[in-house]
Amino acid sequence: MILFDLKCENDHVFEAWFKDNAAFKDQSEKGIVLCPNCSSKEVKKALMAPNVSLANSEKKQVSKTELAKAQKFLSDAQKAIESNFDYVGKDFANEARKIHYGESDKKNIYGEASEADAKSLKDEGVAFSSIPWKQKADA
């Protein structure tokens, strides 16, 4: 069995198991591989990182170290964004469009956008990035 990262025409990424590459191809051609988010039959294999097998003790050590580095990087990025960007909340897509089309002054913003809004911004050529955001713990 092999686990593939898959991506539909609407940019939804998901995983699925297949006996082998030929099984994926066969099922895909028959139209029975569906996106779990939108039911699209237009599904292709997404870019995948190779799985490098390590000894179990090595794997745990590398995994914890890399996870800690990634969490620190994201935490530092979040702090920098919160300190240097204006928070626009759920109005992010509208504000980003206004800046992109020159209706508002250029400024760094951050906020929240739905998957549909993010796709729409991307289709319009509005430059933005998305990062995982750690919610602050309640006091």
CA angle 87, 92, 94 (to 5 degrees): 135
61 and 95 in a single domain? The answer is yes
64 and 40 in a single domain? The answer is no
Name the domain count of the chain: 2
Collect contacts of 96-100 with beta carbons under 8 A, ≥24 apart. Answer: 96/121, 96/126, 96/128, 97/121, 97/124, 97/126, 100/124, 100/125, 100/126, 100/127
**pTM of the entire structure?**
0.52
What sign has the CA pseudo-torsion 129, 14, 134, 75?
A: negative
Domain that holds residue 106: 56-124
118 and 68 in a single domain? The answer is yes
Q: Distance between CA 1 and CA 19 in Å, rounded?
A: 4
Q: pLDDT tens track of the chain, all 139 residues? A: 788 889 999 989 888 998 888 999 999 999 899 988 888 999 999 876 666 666 665 555 657 888 888 888 888 989 999 999 999 999 999 999 999 999 999 999 999 999 899 999 999 999 988 888 887 665 4
